[in-house]
Structure formats: structure tokens, C-alpha cells
Amino acid sequence: MTMFRLKTGILLWIFPAVFSFSLKAQTAKSSALAPALPEGAYIWQRLQVEASSEISDLLRQQYDLNRKAGTFFGYRLQLYFGSGLQARAHAEKVRADFNALYPDAKVYLIFKSPDFIVRAGDFRTKSDALKVLKSLTPGFANAFIVNDDIAFPGPVVQGEIK
């Protein structure tokens, strides 16, 4: 019985010491591995990607198709969805209210029989849409993110797509 107590006592002293050293080592390493990025720096600006000519050709074809169509896959915020006698009037009111609060944002009034839909924004990533969604006023508490074809961006700088 005393031998059991002795082993238990030793283990109770050794384990906290081992775990405390490993935790300190992990925190020191994590800060060294992930330095803070300067403002405007993105990971793809630091990567050297080598791809076969077939991959580059496929990317170029997809880019050309999207440019011709004028749209590509992205996200929008859905602010309103409804049907009925007053649906159009309510959709236009939601659109006007959103335009008054966010005059720079693009707002789309869509009619898909028999429903009226109000969507806002052209977001390339879901995280961009989520940032805006979190900043909306309480008047748009029912807004949510949807997949949609968004407007193709303006002119592309030469060399951006290779």
C-alpha cells in the first residue's frame, strides 16, 4: 500500500511539470510560425505556384466564360423574400430602406413568379458577406447569406490571370 502511495505521489508531481513545459513550448512556437501579416498582404501574393499548361488553359477558359457571361459564383445577402398582394410594395420598401442606410451597396430586386426577392451585395467569399451581415442594423435581423451569381468585377490588371 505504501508503494502505491509513493508511485501516486511521484506521478502527481511529474505530470504537472511535464505538461507545463509542453504548453509553454507550444505558445512560443505558434507565435514564431504565424507572424502577423502587414496591412494589404495576402497569402497568394507570397506563393510561387507552378502548374501545368493544361491547368493554366482551364483557368483561362473559365475566366473567359465568366467574363462573357458577366457573372460568376459568389454570395449575396438576402434581405426579403415574399409573395402576396403587398409583396412588391414591401420588397421595394426594404430595398429603399437598405439603400438609405448603405448607399454604396448594390441592391437587387428580383421577381421569380410568384415571389419577390431583395438581395444586396456582390461578395466573392462567404467571409466577406458574413462581415457585412454582422454589421447590419437590427432592421435587417432576418437577413442571411445565399449563393448567387454575382457581377463580374471591373477591368482586370494585365498579369493578374496567367
Q: What domains sit in the chain, N to C, each tagged with a CATH number?
A: 71-151 (3.30.70.1070)
CA distance 158 to 162: 9
What's the whole-model pTM score? 0.58
Write out the chain's pLDDT in tens, 162 residues: 566 666 666 655 665 555 555 444 444 443 333 445 454 455 555 667 777 888 878 878 887 887 787 778 899 999 999 998 899 999 999 999 999 988 888 899 999 889 999 999 888 889 988 988 988 878 888 899 999 888 877 654 545 444
Contacts of 106 (CB under 8 A, 6+ apart): 120, 121, 122, 151
Let me know how long the chain is.
162
**Which among 77, 91, 93, 62 has a CA at the least distance from the CA of 145?**
77
Q: Strands of 144-151's sheet, edge to edge?
A: 107-112, 115-123, 71-82, 144-151
